[in-house]
Amino acid sequence: MGNSFGKLFKITTFGESHGSGIGVVIDGCPAGLDIDEGFIQEQLDRRKPGQSKITTQRKEPDGFQILSGVFEGKSTGTPLALMIWNQDAKSKDYSHIAEKYRPSHADFTYQEKYGNRDYRGGGRSSARETAARVAAGAIAMSLLKKHGISIQAYVSQVGSIHLQEAYQALDLASAENNIVRCPHEETAQQMIQLIDSTRKSGDSIGGVVSCVIQRAPVGLGEPVFDKLHAQLGYAMLGINAVKGFEYGSGFAGVQMKGSQHNDLFAKDGDAVVTKTNYSGGIQGGISNGADIYFNVAFKPVATIMLDQDSVDQHGENTVVKGKGRHDPCVVPRAVPIVEAMAALVMVDALLLNKSVKL
């Protein structure tokens, strides 16, 4: 269980890192949407490994095939299935880790939960699964664009290097101008250096992806359990390596007084707006028309090129050898994943909101 996401725009993903491929079925995509294959591929390319010197050097083209649900270039309203075939999946030798539990990986827990596991590259627990989400998210994004809603994520922290500027002071689109996807060139270069030196030492480092959703209409989100930010948090925490989520004022807001934190309402022409936005665009779990913004914390990835003590399936002490290639910091590649999951949440909220009034 647990492989579906969304209520009306519902996706189900399947596939393993070293099986046939990774796929997704979207049930509930409205009919008549132009399916832009080029745009889907662009998003997959932003996530794929081997993009730059600071990501893993594995090369996977991540082309995709539409299996169903599209006719004459448009969604038909029936299930839309996409497949990203794995390349050369079978050639590798995994015998060195087949019975070992890699530290802070899912090897042990999958083995215990299911009684078996696909040990080839993590199987289902591999972040490769997120390719399917990015593909589905691209379609969700196309739908949001028609409603004028934009979603832009970027890297705001790597290790202890923080982006100091608030998002309002930045040109978020410029995040794509550098390989770390930070929209502040000087900070970006520092991040890149840190990741590069971490890579050379065989180690990994964590980071934060920030995301801004703009021009969402007032009214999205379903109290009380399905508050818009609860849905966003749930979506983000389901991404591999995520350790935390905060929106609006977040953890820092804890230290504020109510008289500072409250967003006073004011008029802007006919619209009701807020003078500040500590609420992060969401009040009572419902979007209020202001920018929705949030942060997602990613741990340093577990795969490192250093030897580590561990235990194997038989309960024997062992050493997990560092070898091959690795991703020293996931956040640059996590940017499109965060956007995709945010898009899935927003589309679902948009569709659910259609039935709220007579």
x/- map, 15-34, its own copies, by CB under 8 A: xx--xxx-x-x-xx-xxxx-
Residues 6+ apart with CB under 8 A from 322: 202, 304, 305, 306, 307, 308
The residue (of 53 and 162) whose beta carbon lies closer to its own copies is 162
Backbone phi, psi, residue 108, to 5°: -65, -45
CB of 45 to its own copies, least distance (A): 22
The verdict on 234 binding its own copies (CB under 8 A) reads yes
Give the SS3 label for residue 276.
Answer: coil
Pairwise CA distance, residues 97 & 123, whole Å? 13
What amino acid occupies position 227? K
CB of 356 to its own copies, least distance (A): 6
Pairwise CA distance, residues 126 & 313, whole Å? 19
CA atoms within 13 Å, Cβ hemisphere of 223: 7
The verdict on 291 binding its own copies (CB under 8 A) reads no
Q: Per CB under 8 A, which region of 43-51, 88-96, 185-193, 256-264 contacts its own copies?
A: 256-264
Among the listed residues 331, 336, 280, 333, the one whose alpha carbon sits nearest the alpha carbon of residue 157? 331
The residue (of 173 and 265) whose beta carbon lies closer to its own copies is 265
Site of tokens 């049930």: 27
x/- map, 322-341, its own copies, by CB under 8 A: --------------------
Q: Per CB under 8 A, which region of 37-45, 166-174, 181-189, 311-319 contacts its own copies?
A: 311-319
The residue (of 185 and 268) whose beta carbon lies closer to its own copies is 268
CA angle at 326 for the pair 321 and 332, rounded to the nearest 5°: 155
Q: Per CB under 8 A, which region of 41-49, 56-64, 116-124, 182-190 contacts its own copies?
A: 116-124
Pairwise CA distance, residues 89 & 176, whole Å? 30
Q: Which of residues 182-201 bind its own copies (CB under 8 A)?
A: 198
CB of 37 to its own copies, least distance (A): 14
Residues 6+ apart with CB under 8 A from 316: none
Residue 77: CB atoms within 10 Å: 15
The verdict on 302 binding its own copies (CB under 8 A) reads yes
DSSP character string of 321-355? PP-S---S--HHHHHHHHHHHHHHHHHHHHHHGGG
Q: Which residue from 38, 72, 90, 93 is in contact with its own copies, where contact means CB under 8 A?
A: 72
The residue (of 30 and 173) whose beta carbon lies closer to its own copies is 30
CA angle at 318 for the pair 317 and 322, rounded to the nearest 5°: 155
x/- map, 123-162, its own copies, by CB under 8 A: xxx---x-------------x--x----------x-xx--
Backbone phi, psi, residue 27, to 5°: -110, 120
The verdict on 95 binding its own copies (CB under 8 A) reads no
The verdict on 210 binding its own copies (CB under 8 A) reads no
The verdict on 39 binding its own copies (CB under 8 A) reads no
The verdict on 89 binding its own copies (CB under 8 A) reads no
CB of 172 to its own copies, least distance (A): 20
CB of 124 to its own copies, least distance (A): 4
Q: Per CB under 8 A, which region of 35-43, 175-183, 332-340, 345-353 contacts its own copies?
A: 345-353
CA atoms within 13 Å, Cβ hemisphere of 298: 32
